[in-house]
Amino acid sequence: MRRLRKVKIVATLGPSSSSPEMMTRLFNAGADVFRINMSHTSHDRMRELVASIRGIEKEVGRPIGILVDLQGPKLRLGRFADGAVMVEKGQRFILDADPTPGDKTRVHLPHPEILEALEPGHHLLLDDGKVKLLAISSTPTQTVTEVVVGGRLSDRKGVSLPDTLIATSAMTAKDHADLAAALETGCEWIALSFVQRPEDITEATDIIQGRAAVMTKIEKPQAIDRLAEIIALSDALMVARGDLGVEMPIEKVPGLQKQMTRACRRAGKPVIVATQMLESMITQPTPTRAETSDVATAVFEGADAIMLSAESAAGAYPTEAVAMMDSIARSVESDPYYRSILDAQRAEPESTPADAISAAARQVAETLDLAAIICWTSGGTTGRRAARERPKTPIIALTPNVDTSRRLTLVWGVHSILAPDAHDLDDMVDRACAFSHDEGFAIDGDRVIISAGVPLRTPGATNMLRIAVIEGGFKS
């Protein structure tokens, strides 16, 4: 099955989409990667979902990526004696270490690390920003705040800290257990939530040891301050606009989305734009015009993937949401302005043989109007470098490694194929031509360009280009 678009679609699984039949429908509608949200999924259920996806993969004959999204630390208030209170603008309100149920003057904050980190002048956002507090004074056992925006507070509401760097790990005990279970299933991608600093990523990569690729979710303002370091340590980035929009002025999020998308493109790292992309389709069969434009903007920017959350996990129209996202993406990619926008943002290749080869492959393919750029890749680096160029020419990535073929389902424009390893250079060219013909990218008489590393089976050693003409499904 060949997708008629470059950008990839990530669909979150949930109550509306967890049966094998529905997952098959979502794949056929356009989903390339399935996301499993560990905030709402047990280990046994995760294993069942992974097994179902692998079964669908065999049926459709195409690799399907799996993204396991760790919950991360959930910061919440304690409980109130009456279940809820109203706090008024201008009043004092205390957060403390006392577990006694709260009232309208105070409440327990069961996170000593927050009380230790808070300083006067720091803001606290409660219940997704509906209530806003300003710290007036703080000790390791109590923080006195002023209510800046009042409202209703009830038991266990969430706490966001846009100004505060908390000296704790981004991975909780639950995350460690979920990560171990996810790695046992052989999933391709692990998403880290609420990352604040590079050290949060190295903690996870030390555990993962290359068994899965690491995706960092950017949803904390503190992560923006160290974005370059975080991108360097990550295999991919997710622009998690929901939480990011709670913890910082919402009007800054669109600009940061562009900044992160372009930074990832320069680095050759996949980037997903996520959260509320087609939110109204949770309950309605069609999106709003604003949502349609939001999805289109991410595609115009050259994001590798766009993601559905509750729309596919718990909505009434999961298949329609995927199909709509697919339709919007294909429409954008056929727009006359799309190519000029992508080309204007293309980064210069790095001064390495592999980057130079990938840039040359794009230039040759577009100059000669070739049918496909075909990359032989072991770990996926060659395929990602080809995608970094955002070529007009289709990209085919051939790999003997099933994990690599699945990871590349997230990468812009890459049609990944699990293929037996080539014996020698001639066999490599023959197989490349045969696959491009069989997968519908080329017909007899078409020319393709092939990139690979010589000697063969040397990861990251892309150093060869070869132009071949298809004849009877093979080179001539």
As annotated, the active-site residues are: 35, 76, 217, 275
Edge to edge, what strands does the sheet with 123-126 contain?
Answer: 106-108, 92-96, 142-149, 131-139, 123-126, 159-160
User: CA nearest 329: which of 385, 399, 413?
Assistant: 413
Q: How far apart are CA 28 and CA 322, in angstroms?
A: 9
| Radius of gyration of the chain from its Cα atoms, rounded to whole angstroms | 24
What is the Cα–Cα distance from 467 to 322, expressed in whole angstroms?
A: 37
Instruction: Break the chain down into helix, strand, coil percent, rounded to 5.
Output: 40, 25, 35
Burial class (CB in 10 A: 0-12, 13-18, 19+), 190: buried
- 200 to 51, 148, 181, 260: CA distances (angstroms): 30, 31, 19, 19
Q: What are phi and psi of 448, to 5 degrees?
A: -130, 160
Separation in Å, CA 264 to CA 215, 248, 251, 303, 387: 12, 21, 21, 9, 12
Nearest residue to 308 (alpha-carbon basis) of 319, 297, 300 = 319
The C-alpha atoms of residue 212 and residue 214 are separated, in whole angstroms, by 6
Strand pairing report for 305-308 and 8-12: parallel
Amino acid at 431: R
**Token pair listed for 180:** 């171990």
For residue 242, which of 171, 160, 320 has the smallest C-alpha distance? 160
Residue 445, judged by CB atoms within 10 A of its CB (0-12, 13-18, 19+), counts as: exposed
Peptide bond into 455 cis (omega under 30): yes
Quote the DSSP letter at residue 147: E
